[in-house]
Amino acid sequence: MTKTRALVLIPARMAATRLPGKPLLDIAGLPMIVHVLRRAEAAQIGRVAVATDTAEIASVVTAHGGEAVMTRPDHPSGSDRIYEALCQLDPRGEIEAIINLQGDLPTIPPQDVRAALALLENPGVDIGTLAAEIRRDEEHTNPSVVKLVGSPSGDKRLRALYFTRATAPYGDGPRYHHIGLYAYRRTALERFVTLAPSTLERQEKLEQLRALEASMRIDAAIVGSVPLGVDTPADLETAREILKPRSD
């Protein structure tokens, strides 16, 4: 899959209640959304754009040399937002793969973005994603930590069988923390946005279960660690510490 055939889309809104104005909060001299944009650009897999319903976000992105596309404010999910953005940016249907990169991951390693896309080299895979082995005891039982239950499908790869907030699988052996970055085959995204929310999706409150219940294949690349997701003021301070300039 060539670089010109892939598109990274970063959905961004100002609707966060725990951290108002989250995409534009300053981290080490740059708005958070710009950090995510830079990480996506560093992956060097193709075009990168921010999909937003907020003119202020779009203005900040373009002021920092990025591309932004305005979308409707009433989308039920980020997947619907990126699909609208895809249709605007690529009406001729030339893009083969779309990466949905959350706008609150300012420390995402560029190589992890590439790893998710690489999963689509297997023609049987509809959606690629990421997972990291759980290392901290408290994460095994924390419902905020989504677990990916899967079977090995290659070196450092899993075929997803289920996603859950429960402690799973049972017994000894590794458990995996799911990382919410998705690389969609275009046909998979086009199909996904036509599907109604599924039974297990509503029960677990996990959108990716809609794809599994529709018999779509999701594979995950196992990466070294979970990138910091900025959801709270404490997360924001951690991100600022990680990304602050270091003196030699």
Q: For residue 199, give the CATH number of its domain.
A: 3.90.550.10
Residues in Cβ contact with 33 at an 8 Å cutoff, skipping those fewer than 6 apart: 10, 12, 23, 24, 50, 57, 60, 61, 103
Contact 143, 177 (CB under 8 A): no
Provide the whole-model pTM: 0.94
Residue owning tokens 């509809």 = 126
Is 201 a domain residue? yes
Total structural domains in the chain? 1
Q: What is the dihedral of CA 27, 222, 219, 112, to 10 degrees?
A: 40
pLDDT at res. 1: 45
Is 248 a domain residue? no
Is 214 a domain residue? yes
Is 223 a domain residue? yes
**DSSP class of 154:** E
Q: Residue 78: give the domain boundaries.
A: 3-241
pLDDT at res. 247: 66
pLDDT at res. 248: 59
Is 27 a domain residue? yes
Cross-strand bridge partners of residue 151? 159
pLDDT at res. 7: 98
Residue owning tokens 């030699």 = 248
Residue-wise over 77-104: b if at least 16 C-beta within 10 A, else e? ebbbbbbbbbeebeeeeebbbbbbbbbb
**DSSP class of 7:** E
Q: What is the dihedral of CA 85, 90, 92, 95, to 10 degrees?
A: -110
Using omega within 30 degrees of 0 as the cis cutoff, is the peptide bond preceding 197 cis?
Answer: no
Is 160 a domain residue? yes
- pLDDT one digit per residue (tens) for the chain, 248 residues: 444 499 999 999 997 778 999 999 999 999 999 999 999 999 999 999 999 999 999 999 999 999 999 999 998 888 999 999 999 999 999 999 999 999 999 999 999 999 999 999 999 999 999 999 999 999 999 999 999 999 999 899 999 999 999 999 999 999 999 999 999 999 999 999 999 999 999 999 999 999 999 999 999 999 999 999 999 999 999 999 999 987 65
Count other Cβ atoms within 10 Å, centred on residue 118. 18
Is 247 a domain residue? no
Is 43 a domain residue? yes
